[in-house]
Amino acid sequence: MSDWRTLEGEPIDDVYEAIRVENQMALDAGGMLMAYIGTDGQNLGQRGTSFVQCVALHRYDDCFAGKGGRVFYIRFIERRYHNRNKRLLREAELAVNLGQKLEPLFTELKIPFEVHADVNSYAGDHGENLSNEVHDTVKGWIESMGWVCRTKPEAFVASIVADRHTRGVRPKNGKKYGKRMLG
């Protein structure tokens, strides 16, 4: 059984095939897809850090009116990241890795995509947006791949969709940590 799931929690056997099916459905309806990739991480006490990678597919018609979409996600636990900036850089690394794996499929299917990073471009009036410390590094890294990068507040896949699924992950089979990503 695959670890990829729909937003509703249904397992996906093959995320590549699921993207192909969604693309064909959009084309059959006279539209197209836009893809968004995002990752979020959340420390779970001493149990580790929960990471969620998301692929959101948004359907558009020929006038670029939104026609719904689908979200696929995978979550896993790694060792605990005690340093916030290291965790944010790991989130960016996971998003870049996922982008590299999906880019050939998106290119083949002519699906434009962008990567959403869970970092803030604005430090805040009182320095409260601490993810701003790694903003330029993360944004530069993603853009150096030739991709569009969105950061907060426009990074909805990372800061809202993936964030929703990072909390409450339990290790499987009594293992302390599990690592399952797109292979």
CA angle (91, 74, 180) in 5-degree steps: 85
Whether 144 has a pLDDT exceeding 60, the answer reads yes
**Span 8-34, pLDDT tens digits:** 889 999 999 999 999 999 999 889 999
Q: How far apart are CA 127 and CA 53, in angstroms?
A: 28
Query: What integer pLDDT is reported at residue 156 of this predicted model?
Result: 74
Burial call 38-72: b when 16+ CB within 10 Å, e when fewer: bbbbbebeeebbbbbbbbbbbbbeeeeeeeebbbb
Residue ranges covered by each domain of the chain: 5-166
Query: What integer pLDDT is reported at residue 118 of this predicted model?
Result: 87
- State the DSSP string of 131-183: GGGGHHHHHHHHHHTT-EEEEETS-HIIIIIIHHHHTT---STT-S-B-----
Query: What integer pLDDT is reported at residue 154 of this predicted model?
Result: 86
**Span 49-74, pLDDT tens digits:** 989 999 999 988 765 566 788 999 99
- State the DSSP string of 50-93: EEEEEEEEEEE-TT--EEEEEEEEEEEEES---SHHHHHHHHHH
Instruction: Report the Cα 53 to chain-centroid distance in Å.
Output: 4
Whether 1 has a pLDDT exceeding 60, the answer reads no
Higher pLDDT, residue 46 or 66:
46
Query: What integer pLDDT is reported at residue 166 of this predicted model?
Result: 63
**Span 74-128, pLDDT tens digits:** 988 999 999 999 999 999 999 999 999 999 999 999 999 999 998 888 776 656 6
Q: How far apart are CA 49 and CA 33, in angstroms?
A: 32
Query: What integer pLDDT is reported at residue 53 of this predicted model?
Result: 93
